Structure 1
Amino acid sequence: MVVYTVGTFDLLHVGHLALLEYCASLGDTVVVGIASDEVVRLYKPNIPIIPLEQRIEMLQALRCVNIVIPYHKLDYLSICKDVKADLFVIGEDWGRKPHNQDVENYFNAQGKKVVQIKYNPRNSSTKIKQDIIDQFQVVNVTE
């Protein structure tokens, strides 16, 4: 069974690892779609801190990930079809946008599943970035 998930995977952390290990528990092959900077600009205020090539390299180093595919357009369905995904695992903020609905419609028509999961509350790239900013501001104030 092929499990596909997507994300930015900036500042790789335990929440990412929990997601990817969960994906590995659902199937034999875990394919990770990783958003390019131009795609991230479409839905987040800032581009990733870590360059795409390095984010790919980090994901490829994980034993729970089999294939990493960067995507340069906000189109999840093409890669789902290309890798013949049986499951698509997404986060709780999935939403009802047209590109998301296309994936759900395709999976439903094929008798396949979209699995929505809650984010790991232990960490997030956004929280890590904010912690760094906060810590830097404290250091500058005390100097």
Structure 2
Amino acid sequence: MIVYTVGTFDLLHVGHLALLQHCKSLGNVLAVGVASDRVVNSYKPNVPVIPLEQRMEMLKALSCVDIVHAYDQLDYVPGCKAVNADIFVIGEDWGNKPHNLAVESYLKSKHKTITQVVYNSRTSSTQIKQNVRAQSYAGQQRILATG
């Protein structure tokens, strides 16, 4: 069974690891699609902090990940076809956007499975970025106060 999931995987953290380990437990092979900066910028206000090539390199180094590829369009059907996915794992924020409905239709027509997971609330890339900004701001305030 080939399991496929997609994401940005910016600032790789324990929540990502938990997701990927769960995905791997669903099958024999775990394939991960990594969103290019252009794709991320199409639905988020900021591009990732870590360059695409480095995000992919970190994912490839994980023992639970077997295949890593980038995708440059917000369309999951080509990735599912490329890896011949049996199970497509999606997050809890999945909605009824055209690209989501397209992959659902494709997978249903091929008698494949979509599995939805709940995000690990212990950490997130957004929270990490906010913490870094807060620490940086606090450090700047200390410098200004002592300078």
Same fold (TM over 0.5): yes
In the alignment, what sits opposite 1:111? Answer: 111
TM-superposition CA deviations, 1:2-23 (whole Å, max 9, x none): 0000000000000000010001
- Aligned equivalents of 1:36, 1:105: Cα separation in 2: 24
- Aligned equivalents of 1:108, 1:76: Cα separation in 2: 14
TM-superposition CA deviations, 1:45-89 (whole Å, max 9, x none): 100000111001000000000000100111100110121100000
**1:51-66 mapped onto 2 (5 Å cutoff):** 51-66=51-66
**1:1-143 mapped onto 2 (5 Å cutoff):** 1-143=1-143
4+ long deviations beyond 3 Å = none
Provide TM-score, normalisation by structure 2.
Answer: 0.95
- Aligned equivalents of 1:68, 1:110: Cα separation in 2: 23
Displacement, 1:108? Answer: 1.8
- Aligned equivalents of 1:54, 1:36: Cα separation in 2: 11
Q: Secondary structure at the match of 1:45?
A: coil
| Structure 2 residue ranges without an equivalent (≥5) | none
Q: Secondary structure at the match of 1:92?
A: coil
Task: Give the count of matched residue pairs.
Answer: 143
- Aligned equivalents of 1:117, 1:71: Cα separation in 2: 21
- Aligned equivalents of 2:75, 2:108: Cα separation in 1: 17
- Aligned equivalents of 1:34, 1:106: Cα separation in 2: 20
Displacement, 1:109? Answer: 2.1
Q: Which has the larger radius of gyration?
A: 2
Provide TM-score, normalisation by structure 1.
Answer: 0.98
